[in-house]
Amino acid sequence: MLIYANPRHAGHSGRQEMYRGRLVPCHEVPARLEHVLAELARRPLGEIREAPPVARALLEAVHAPRYLRFLETAWQQWVALDPANAALDALPSVWPVRGFRADLEPANFAARLGLYSFDAGTPLTEGTWAAAEAGAACAAAAAFSLAGSGAPRAAVALTRPPGHHAGADFFGGYCFVNNAAVAAQALREQGARRVAVLDVDYHHGNGTQSLFYERADVLTLSIHGDPRTEYPFYLGHADETGAGAGLGFNLNLPLPAGTDFAHWRAALATALARIAAFAPDALVVALGVDTYEGDPISRFRLASGDYLQLGADIAGAGLPTVFTLEGGYAVAAMGTNVVNVLEGFEA
Ligand code: Q9C
Ligand code: ZN
């Protein structure tokens, strides 16, 4: 398999996130990706490459242009408010909910930050845009690498910040640019007629679902902690099946906190059967390993060894596959768990 590692990821390094009334150290830290790279050095699975820059048109096929413009200048705007802000992260604290105007871009920076976000757990830092844009480049390059004869079976966008919570014009859940959606859109643009996006992160992939909710050419599926109790709470329920032309092309498989691998794997079998019926030309896997029993913010009970089987089950779909790296916060186990999925896929 081909691996595109994000060389700018460490520039996105949040200090603190708001959690239960306190600012606590960020869970989504650069060491996560470093552990995966270290494990890949021990268990090589393929060439590790740098991606060429991502086309703006591809980003704009996924995200609103004004959102992208905001993200790329947000740090300068933040520091322009007060030079002392350079020592802080920008964290939103006000949002337009039901009945508020979302069509107008406020003149106030804090109000713009809230307009384009949905939680206070996702700090924007000096290197956030460069990291997110370079991550999207990894996702696009991974997708493009699957075309043509001699293409690998799979390609990996090894990147952070993650992407699956980011929607057309909002960041949140540690995500800014939706890498899985960029990969799916890139696959469509290079000739795949239908693409499935399977999200195995502990948290529902609300951004990906919302981006493709009215499209029949991209089937979205997500296996996740039941949003009645688990983040992101406001989306990810089983009755969300798509709308308009996309009706029937979204499948949510929420599972209760405490779910073990046997029950999780049964949900995966349901998802894979739906994918087989859809008969896509390619698959994108939003690969979060926060389903791990040792994850500090999640509540499934997968063991490290289970990820080998998870990867093998996904390989059973027999599809050209792009993996994007999503969550996983048991930092020291990240390398083992992610590389187990990839090794299980290759076996
Ligand atoms: N104040 C991913 O796994 N935690 N994102 C809730 C917010 C947010 C997880 C605390 C969890 C986001 C990609
Ligand atoms: Zn997650």
ipTM of model: 0.94
Given a contact cutoff of 8 angstroms between Cβ atoms, the answer to whether 71 and 129 are in contact is yes
pLDDT of the residue at 186: 98
pLDDT of the residue at 314: 99
- For the stretch 220-232, pLDDT in tens is 999 999 999 999 9
pLDDT band at 128 (very low <50, low <70, confident <90, very high): very high
Q: Dihedral angle at the C-alpha atoms of 206, 204, 135, 324, nearest 10 degrees?
A: -130
Cis bond upstream, residue 320 (ω within 30): no
Cα–Cα separations (whole angstroms), residue 188 to 61, 191, 218, 281, 315: 11, 5, 9, 9, 21
Q: Are strands 218-225 and 250-255 parallel, antiparallel or unpaired?
A: parallel
Beta-carbon-side half-sphere exposure of residue 215 (alpha carbons within 13 Å)? 19
Check pocket membership of 326 for ligand 1, CB cut-off 6 A. Answer: yes
In this prediction, residues 200-215 reach a mean pLDDT of 99
From ligand 2's centre to the CA of 61, what distance in Å? Answer: 24
Distance between CA atoms of residues 5 and 264, nearest Å:
29
Buried b (16+ CB within 10 A) or exposed e, 163-186: bbbbbebbbbbbbbbbbbbbbbbb
Check pocket membership of 327 for ligand 1, CB cut-off 6 A. Answer: yes
Ligand 1 pocket test: pick from 91, 174, 295 the residue with the most ligand atoms within 8 Å of its Cβ: 174
From ligand 1's centre to the CA of 173, what distance in Å? Answer: 4
Distance between CA atoms of residues 165 and 123, nearest Å:
14
- For the stretch 168-180, pLDDT in tens is 999 999 999 999 9
Nearest CA to ligand 1 atom 3: 327
Indicate the average pLDDT of the chain: 98
- For the stretch 99-121, pLDDT in tens is 999 999 999 999 999 999 999 99
Nearest partner of 111 among 62, 77, 69, 86, judged by Cα: 77
Homologous superfamily, domain 2-346: Histone deacetylase domain (3.40.800.20)
Strands (E), 256-297: 282-287
pLDDT of the residue at 17: 97
345: Cβ contacts below 8 Å, ≥ 6 apart: 1, 154, 311, 312, 314, 315, 321
- For the stretch 226-280, pLDDT in tens is 999 999 999 999 999 999 999 999 999 999 999 999 999 999 999 999 999 999 9
Q: What percent of the chain shows pLDDT beyond 70?
A: 100
In this prediction, residues 138-147 reach a mean pLDDT of 98
Q: CB atoms < 10 A from the CB of 101, how many?
A: 9
pLDDT of the residue at 32: 98
Given a contact cutoff of 8 angstroms between Cβ atoms, the answer to whether 263 and 157 are in contact is no
From ligand 2's centre to the CA of 116, what distance in Å? Answer: 20
Cα–Cα separations (whole angstroms), residue 48 to 112, 119, 163, 295: 38, 34, 21, 27
Distance between CA atoms of residues 223 and 288, nearest Å:
11
65: part of which helix (H) or strand (E)?
helix 65-81
Q: Dihedral angle at the C-alpha atoms of 140, 146, 150, 152, nearest 10 degrees?
A: 100
Nearest CA to ligand 1 atom 5: 173
Distance between CA atoms of residues 65 and 182, nearest Å:
14
pLDDT of the residue at 191: 96
pLDDT of the residue at 158: 98
pLDDT of the residue at 169: 98
Active-site residues, by number, are: 165
Check pocket membership of 288 for ligand 1, CB cut-off 6 A. Answer: yes
β-partners of residue 321 are 154, 283
Check pocket membership of 192 for ligand 1, CB cut-off 6 A. Answer: no
Angle ∠(28,303,236) on CA atoms, nearest 5: 55
